Structure 1
């Protein structure tokens, strides 16, 4: 009994002890929590920081943002926690942020940063946006599915959409964005952009107030370069685009400055709505007075005396103070003052025109020159050539280590690289890296490779049949790497050689195979080219390929040519010589030709002298290309002892060895009129002559005039196809007594305006309008350069690297063709494989 009583007493005592301990711990906990109040903040040490709630964001990045690190001493509560929360909210990445006390031991704490991420975009939808515009906006918007839908990103996207439509002339466009919870995806939203385009706004009227020096029409044309009224000019947009308008206000003042009105200002301007589709513009001007140059003084010049600089500047006393021309003559033009210095190595040259005295209507200019030391080229570096071998690029450059820096040589080098056709001419660049300490400069040429190989397709109509051509052209081929397995990717390339194979056919009766190879730098030391070509062609009257006819016209031939670049009169000139031979076989030939049976040989020498300074091959903007060529055979009739006046001589005997001399002159000229608007002029003249009047004109090597300029079937006669749009193929080639078409003299003239739509390595597209005229005659005595067939038209050209030049023209021929009433008026022309020149 006593033992049981003692046990109960001990149990009660233990229970009381546990209860007292629990109460003590609870009181301590309550006291600890009470310690963390804004009234009584405590300094604690961060033992650790954890992150919870994140799904896509790296916790380490989040910890870097908040700036709370293990070992830091902070106040709880305090400014450190408040600042960390604000930092997280400022990122616009989270919809909810809290920093909680996860654990405390004495004055050491563990903090937990808990965040709820902003919902992510599951998809983007559009309302009021057409399919084509959706694709464009998808490329322009930086907002993509998977990104967070923050207010900042949505606002940026709305501004991008608004600008897209403003640039298209929708001045009243409104864009809104809304988010909707995506029930199919956790923490995701669907973003919908709703667009109200409104009407496309165009400029109806442009009015100027205060203009006395220039009429309003002149200011609209010359001052407002992009903002135009509704008119006939197809190359200018009539849409109102705010950014273009602001730029044109500056252009307007530049136009005044160009004519000496240095004080001209736009006082104010107004853009007002005429209706929901038209706006008007009103600009108030203060022109000021016109200024002239009183005097030009040069300071700091030691290399060139002032009279030489004045002559190079081309501006002096009493000239209109044209600030644009002054800038060009100092820095921009090919023969500017800056270019003159830089061509002598003065890379660090600078000149600052200063108006030292402005009085009444005159300005005294002081040209303050810093010539600097001459710079020597230390290194020439090529960047971006991942296909073309470096020696192919370097041999075209005019800048070498050790030479003095020369701006002209750099520009010429860029022109030669563009002319190769291996690189994107729009991105060719030069980066001079000067080293002032040792007076040297490193030149970095940057190139962007483009595909120069082509799968060539062409088509033409001749002799009543359609002829198609399929060919391949490898413009950057490498014979040296032909037997290297690793070079076949897909073909050996990089050495700048050209290899082409063409096959032409009409299906059953006509087949032609052409092969050519060109090595532009024979031996690799000088720009001496070697050309090789081979031709096989056959036309027969068979109806099926597997059942050839014994009646045919067959040609076998080849040519070898050598050309080189000249140094005089300048190094744009070239000379080329070629020896060619063709063997013609006719058997029961029933076409309209001078004889039906026999063999004919054509052995000739061709010489071409020309000059080509065109800046690039695809869309030239400047330069010219002219050539004079003479192709001649031996005068067999002068020494073979045959009597060609005999009426008994058969045609196949008369033309067994054909004789002729063929002269052609061609000239082309390009000039940028306004921005990328290019004027193209073309003139051609050709004549096929004879040595002996009793022999007469050769039945081969004449001209075939009219149409698209594609050779087609008429190539079998060795005729040169000359396109003349607005007229049917061959329609201007005169007929002779036996009914065959033969032209021995022709002329052609073209005026063309071109404007680019797209100029990129993947494709180049430009539109054109043209006026053309020309004619063809059988005999020189009937030649009349003013008796031409005229036409006008428009077209488009598309250059695709793998297909070459494609095009379509529609032209109207004004002058009727005798004997062929359907040959003129509206004529379509499809061009495949080459541009019509």
Structure 2
């Protein structure tokens, strides 16, 4: 159809040229309008669209423009012209064939893979639209493209236009689809690769293996741009290892008679090149030896493109951190194909040193200037340190307030001064989340959360742009209810000092009783260094046991005393807690390396008043070690002590320590490891039975070892070993009666909806009463 349109335009041009030469300077005496097709012809519409008029001099160029204008109106399938000699000039005859008026919806035949509604949407024709072969040709091409995306490479689509009423110019359209065989993209084949495995190459072009479920959902056809991108990525991968002349060819191929496809990647790796002579030229302001310390390339090492880039960036940062914003580094490479060497001359253009005059922030339509400025590491009047500016850009980007953050210097009237321009683009910072979770402990749990990450407490009427954080959240289920309002001011008193205020209410069902906590907490936090932080918290909390199902008196096996849940008093607790945090993890949600350690101590009561006089000390540590091929070893340890003092004789049940269950010792029943109380019942038959209840303790130590192995993207298997116990007395760590378990699990790292399934085998119990619970299932965040 496109060829027909082009042919029509060419024909019009040729006809106009011939007529122009034959009838040049002739006078148009009459213009005749003829309808040679169906339907009515609007003669007034035609005459309004032609520039040639009766009495005017004939010009072929104007005639050509008239025909194009009439075709462009969309009303006509064909426009013809003819010239007839008459007395004193010529008669100009325009002939028209109208497009037909579609009277009813397009009819379909033969389509199976695509539903009627989908095909009709692609065609996009409705009753009342004008149709002809050209219109259908363009619309049907969209159907063909969709079929090819669905792996029907040999699809054929034809159409028929049947005239219904010649006088009215109406018609119906039938579109026939011959789908052909459904071709599948079956495989990716790499040939010629020795340095990198097929697995490495698949990862480079982001293609999973055929047995990966993600492969089944992956796009199976590639356009020319995507094929070129895959080729460039593989070639770039080889360049990182010094194979700078590697040749890569990527193409789709038909691999069987059904038309199934494969992606054929043919690689000629070439030879390994190494760095030869490394020189620095153009450096006059600083000694070459000082600059060379920032060059990571070494003579004799593989000529890696990554090392070359890092060397260029190292020299650039050397100058940029000293205010030479106009400096430039260009690596000039001379390749020795015989010796397989790459000689590099780092050519430096030094420029002049600059200082910062003004810092201008642009694009922040909601966020206040000071929220951005307080995060900057550079200030007006200082040397324009490009390294610090780049770090500032990352810090501002990590705030989460902006889609993009870009900085650049601009010249001023003073030669050695520059303005720093910081361009930002605001993004939505408020979120409303509804989610559900499941665990073998809490069962089903629903969650609602409303957050504003760029809140402004006094910013009427939108309350955004102040850099504060507000969160309203609730969790509700059959065993747990939790409600919280949280507010954080990260720059309290305009200092790098965070102030947090939390109001909360929780109600947890532990089968025999419920524990309700309600309180308010205020927290001051300050970073000590990039990885270390200190927090001081004061809280007032009301704790109580309610809905006690078992009011019997039990025998405490740990100290031989009598115990009843109904003896636990309601208490109001005033607490100060100091915490030191160290965090070097590479990812807070799915870490593969680094450490997170917290050391804390808290004091309740005493000079702080209220009902509870206890103190608590604790250490928690997580260490992550990356191994090979994405394997990770995680070590987690926890040690805590809680003790009463002053007028309080015992630590309340609500403040004791428990172990057992999914997040502590897997394979054991929830909170079942540790001290217990027992009650025996005698029956008339003379038989007896015993009932026990976990009591918790005042000392606790535990450790987890977990080894995770990635199977496919976002799916890992885990092997684990857990060990630990709880002891009744404080500081009474008896490591000869530790509970131990081992097992395996599955990790589905789905964004926002992680799933964790473990099966644990008990290796050793802490006592004979402790029960097993092999399955641990968590769906949703690890709350």
Taking structure 1 as the reference length, what is the TM-score of the superposition? 0.66
**Partner-residue secondary structure (3-state), 2:523:** strand
- Residue 204 and residue 456 in structure 1: after superposition, are their counterparts in 2 closer, same or farther (change >3 A)? closer
What residue in structure 2 maps to residue 730 of structure 1? 670
Inter-CA distance 112–225: structure 2 relative to 1 (3 Å threshold): same
Structure-2 separation of matches of 1:55 and 1:305: 86
Q: Is residue 2:779 matched to residue 1:830?
A: yes
The answer to whether the 8 Å contact 1:602/1:633 transfers is: no
Q: Distance in 2 between matches of 1:828 and 1:317?
A: 54
Give the deviation of 1:562 after TM superposition. Answer: 1.0
Choose from 720, 726, 746 the match for 1:778.
726
**Cα deviations across residues 746-804 of structure 1 (Å, max 9, x unaligned)?**
33456668999xxxxxxxxx9443526445421443399995544321325454xxxxx
Native 8 Å contact 2:741 2:762 kept in 1: no
The Cα shift of 1:559 comes to 1.9
Listed one character per residue, the Cα deviations across residues 386-424 of structure 1 (whole Å, up to 9, x for unaligned) are 5x445434444446555555554455445444544445x
Residues 213-237 of structure 1, C-alpha deviation per residue, up to 9 Å, x if partnerless?
A: x26x725633783386954445557
In the alignment, structure 1 residue 172 sits paired with structure 2 residue 153: yes
Query: Following TM superposition, by how much is the alpha carbon of 1:530 offset from its aligned partner in structure 2, in angstroms?
Result: 1.5
1:371 aligned onto 2:350: yes
Asked whether 1:258 is paired with 2:240, we answer: yes
Q: Does 1:361 align with 2:331?
A: no
Residue deviations 1:111-145, cap 9 Å, x none?
Answer: 9999967979997888647579977996xx79787
CA distance in 1 between partners of 2:134 and 2:583 (Å): 55
Match of 1:198 in 2: 181
Residue equivalent to 1:742 = 696
What is residue 480 of structure 1 aligned with on the other side? 458
C-alpha spacing 1:134/1:263, structure 2 compared with 1 (3 Å): farther
1:520 to 463, 471, 490: 490
Tell me the CA shift for residue 630 of structure 1.
0.2
Q: Is the 8 A contact 2:468 2:488 kept in 1?
A: yes
Alignment of 1:571-610 (within 5 A): 573-586=532-545, 589-590=548-549, 595-597=565-567, 598-600=569-571, 602-610=573-581
Contact 2:378 2:389 in 1 (8 A): yes
Seen in structure 2, the aligned counterparts of structure 1 residues 43 and 621 have a Cα distance that, compared at 3 Å, is farther
Contact 1:256 1:262 survives alignment (8 Å): yes
Q: 2:382 aligned with 1:383, yes or no?
A: no
In the alignment, is the contact (CA less than 8 A) between 2:323 and 2:383 conserved in 1?
yes
Q: Are positions 1:565 and 2:514 aligned together?
A: no
Output the CA distance in 2 between the equivalents of 1:687 and 1:666: 12
Matches of residues 88-127 of structure 1 in structure 2 within 5 Å? 89=71, 94-97=76-79
- Say if 1:692 and 1:580 are closer, same or farther in 2 by CA, change over 3 A: closer
Q: Secondary structure at the match of 1:626?
A: strand
Tell me if the contact between 1:599 and 1:656 (Cα under 8 Å) persists in the aligned partners. no
How far apart are the structure 1 equivalents of 2:276 and 2:632?
40
Q: Are the equivalent residues in 2 in contact too, given 1:688–1:697 (CA < 8 A)?
A: no
Q: Contact 2:543/2:654 (CA < 8 Å) preserved in 1?
A: no
Residue 816 (structure 1) shift: 3.9
Give 1:535 shift: 4.0
| Structure 2 counterpart of 1:291 | 273
Whole-angstrom distance in 2 between the partners of 1:690 and 1:198:
72
Q: Distance in 2 between matches of 1:561 and 1:179?
A: 76
Gaps of 5+ in 1: 1-35, 544-550, 641-652, 709-721, 757-765, 800-806
Distance 1:501 1:589, change over 3 A: same
Unaligned 5+ residue runs, structure 2? 1-18, 552-562, 679-692, 728-732
Residue in structure 1 matched with residue 465 of structure 2 by the alignment: 494
Distance change in 2, residues 1:445/1:616 (3 Å):
farther
Shift of 1:324: 4.0
Contact 2:676 2:696 survives alignment (8 Å): yes
* 2:713 matches 1:769: no
Equivalence for 1:208: 191
Deviation at 1:533, TM superposition (A): 2.6
Assess, with a 3 A threshold, how the Cα gap between structure 1 residues 745 and 317 changes in structure 2: closer, same or farther. Answer: same
**Mapped pair 1:225 → 2:204:** yes
Partner deviation per Cα, 1:616-649 (whole Å, 9 max, x = no partner) = 98x8899967342303226979xx9xxxxxxxxx
Alpha-carbon distance, 1:730 to partner = 2.5
Q: Can you list the C-alpha shifts for 1:602-627, whole angstroms capped at 9, x where unaligned?
A: 4432223335678998x889996734
1:577 Cα offset (Å): 0.9
Which of 408, 425, 437 is the matching residue for 1:447? 425
Shift of 1:278: 5.2
Q: CA deviation at 1:578?
A: 0.5
Counterparts of 2:591 and 2:137, CA distance in 1: 42
Take 1:227 and 1:219, find their aligned partners in 2: how far apart are those partners? 12
Counterpart contact for 1:357–1:364, Cα < 8 Å = yes
Query: Alpha carbon RMSD of aligned pairs, Å?
Result: 5.9
Separation of aligned partners in 2, 1:312 and 1:133 = 65
1-structure distance, mates of 2:506, 2:613 = 19
Which segment drifts farther, 438-447 or 90-99? 90-99
Secondary structure of 1:633's aligned partner? strand
Match of 2:746 in 1: 793
Q: CA offset at residue 97 of structure 1?
A: 3.9
Residue 711 of structure 1 aligns with which residue? none
Deviations 1:74-132 (A, max 9, x none): 8515343235535765898852346899xx9x999999999967979997888647579
Shift in CA distance, 259/533, structure 1 to aligned 2, threshold 3 Å: closer
CA deviations 1:711-749 (Å, max 9, x no partner) are xxxxxxxxxxx478x868836754534521637233345
* Aligned partners of 1:620 and 1:670 also within 8 Å: no
Q: Per-residue deviation at 1:260?
A: 2.7
Map of 2:296 onto structure 1: 314
Give 1:584 deviation, angstroms: 3.1
Give a deviation string over 1:434-466, Cα, whole Å, max 9, x none. 449866355343334225243566667798887
Q: CA offset at residue 199 of structure 1?
A: 3.1
Shift of 1:296: 0.8
Distance change in 2, residues 1:554/1:82 (3 Å): closer
Change (3 A) 1:514 1:830: same
CA distance in 1, matches of 2:487, 2:394: 24
Match of 2:320 in 1: 342
Q: How many residues align?
A: 706
How do 1:126-145 residues align onto structure 2 when only pairs under 5 Å count?
Answer: 128=111
1:315–1:54 Cα change, 3 Å: farther
Query: In structure 1, how many angstroms separate the alpha carbons of the residues matched to 2:321 and 2:102?
Result: 59
Q: Distance in 2 between matches of 1:771 and 1:692?
A: 39
C-alpha separation in 2, matches of 1:783 and 1:159: 77
Tell me, yes or no, if the aligned pair for 1:684 and 1:748 is still in contact at 8 Å: yes
Change (3 A) 1:475 1:143: same
Query: In structure 2, how many angstroms separate the alpha carbons of the residues matched to 1:706 and 1:40?
Result: 102
Residue 631 of structure 1 is matched in structure 2 by: 601
| Alignment check: 8 A CA contact 1:349 1:371 kept | yes
2:667–2:762 CA contact under 8 A, matched in 1: no
Q: 1:542 to 1:219 in 2, by over 3 A?
A: closer
Work out whether residues 630 and 662 of structure 1, in 8 Å CA contact, stay in contact via their aligned partners in 2: yes
Matching residue of 1:15: none
Q: Which secondary structure does the structure 2 equivalent of 1:660 belong to? A: strand
Q: Which moved more, 1:315-324 or 1:352-361?
A: 352-361
SS in 2 for 1:516: strand
Determine the C-alpha separation between the residues in 1 that align with 2:702 and 2:163.
Answer: 74
Q: 1:258 to 1:464 in 2, by over 3 A?
A: closer
Q: Equivalent residue for 1:811? A: 757
Q: Is the 8 A contact 1:769 1:795 kept in 2?
A: yes
Moved more, 147-156 or 696-705: 147-156
